[in-house]
Amino acid sequence: MYPHLGEQKMNETFKQLLERESKFQIESSTKATYYVTVQLDEMKSSWRSVLIDWLIEVVDDIQGVNECVLYAAINYLDRFLSRYKVKEPGKNLQLVGVTCLAIALKMFQTRNTPSHFDGSLIARLCFLTDESYVIRDIHGMEQTILSCLKFNMSCVTCYDFLMSLFHNHKEILTLDEKDQHVAKLVMQVFSLSNDYLKYRPHQIAVSAIDLALQLNCKRCFDFIKFGIEKQREEIRLCFSDMRTAFQVVFATNVSILLKQETMSTRIEAATLTVPPVQTIYNKFSKEPYNLDLKKMLVFCN
């Protein structure tokens, strides 16, 4: 089923990403708990979900942005919040998020340059915060984030692993375009969950493909060929958490959060533990995805 040369290519590509991956992760002591251990309970656990949902909206609003930018911004956000105590997070958390996005755009966005790197983009980002911040606020926070992360910004994310698997190995794994769309969907949903913080990017990507195959009524593949057989249990747990997140967010009514007009009121109202998903639902229900999300949820349950 796996040609010999194909196995060599898979292992080589995967190994290169794995070697880089570990350099850009949250320290194990603060995984999934930084809002308690670092932010000292001043940041509610649900605020991260609300912020990332808003970042997804912003990325969709700016035309031509590569999807890798979103996951880089999430990486910066989680690494920063796991190391740096944010003053008045109810007021400044959105500033941290939008600045992480601005840095990610500079690092990874190559389309339509140089327009994506000039002051007009920063001004637009300020506008999308309902003008809660001005350009100098973003520039100031940018220096704080870069310093905190020691300028280590060329991160490897779950999106990198996902696209590597689809672009380099889809014939070996018999993956099609719909599998890719569904994997992107479940991975984006999972990014809203705090369980996302517990796992390494390659574990999330592999689990997303595994769940996508199940949702598309296909048999799951054995990822031993990628040299990660020792992580079978971790990947199984990741898959379980991802499946649960997918079930919960689409089965629970979170419209109370979605009706808020500004990010500040969203954060203040974020008392639910279920992440908002209206943005994701709208995105993947339309072109080019056209996914039947209700049907998938029934199957997942």
Q: Is the pLDDT of residue 103 over 60?
A: yes
Per-residue pLDDT at 33 exceeds 70: no
Model confidence at 113: pLDDT above 60: no
Q: Which comes out higher in pLDDT, residue 214 or 192?
A: 192
d(CA 194, CA 192): 7
DSSP tag of 221: P
| Of 67, 87, 7, 112, nearest in space to 205 by CA | 67
Does residue 130 sit in the same domain as residue 171? Answer: no
Residue 134 phi/psi, 5-degree rounding, is: -115, 170
pTM of structure: 0.80
pLDDT at residue 228, rounded to an integer:
57
Query: How many domains, in total, are found in the chain?
Result: 2
Report d(CA 98, CA 231) in Å as an integer.
34
The reply to whether 179 and 100 lie within a common domain is no
Percent of the chain with pLDDT over 90: 22
Q: Are residues 192 and 59 in the same domain?
A: no
CA–CA gap between residue 235 and residue 202 (Å, rounded)? 9
Q: What is the pLDDT of residue 62?
A: 82
Range of the structural domain that residue 206 is part of:
158-300
Residues above pLDDT 70, as percent of the chain: 64
pLDDT on residue 134 = 93
Amino acid 238 reads: C
DSSP class of 230? G
260/97 Cα distance (integer angstroms): 18
Judge contact between 301 and 247, C-beta under 8 A.
yes
Please write down the long-range contacts of 172-178, taking CB distance under 8 Å and 24 or more positions apart.
172/2, 172/3, 172/6, 172/10, 173/209, 173/221, 175/209, 175/213, 178/216, 178/291
Counted residue by residue, the chain has a size of 301
What confidence score (pLDDT) does residue 46 get?
Answer: 82
User: What does the pLDDT read at residue 272?
Assistant: 40
pLDDT digits (tens, 9 = 90+) for 165-206: 887 766 666 677 888 888 888 898 899 888 998 899 999 998
What pLDDT score was predicted for residue 260?
41
* Residue with tokens 């595994």, as numbered in its chain: 210
Pair 170, 114 in one domain: no
Q: In this predicted model, what pLDDT tens digit does every residue of 134-150 receive, in sequence order?
A: 999 999 999 999 999 99
The CATH number of whichever domain residue 242 belongs to comes to 1.10.472.10
Residue of higher predicted confidence among 212 and 282:
212
129 Cβ partners below 8 Å, 6+ apart? 94, 95, 98, 263
The string of pLDDT tens digits covering residues 55-82 is 988 988 887 788 899 999 999 999 999 8
- Same domain? For 219 and 261 the reply is yes
- CA separation for the pair 84, 66 (Å, rounded): 28
How many helices (H) and strands (E) the chain has is answered by 15, 0
Same domain, 199 and 68: no
Among the three residues 86, 119, 148, which one is the final residue of a domain in this structure? 148
Most confident of the ranges 8-22, 75-89, 253-267: 75-89
2-16, 93-107, 114-128, 223-237: the lowest-pLDDT one:
2-16
Statement to judge: residues 116 and 168 lie in one domain = no
ω before 201 within 30° of 0 (cis)?
Answer: no
Q: Can you give the pLDDT at residue 294?
A: 58
What's the DSSP call for residue 29?
G
Residue partners of 34: CB distance under 8 A and separation at least 6: 26, 78, 81, 82, 197
pLDDT in tens, 256-287: 334 444 445 554 544 444 445 556 666 666 66
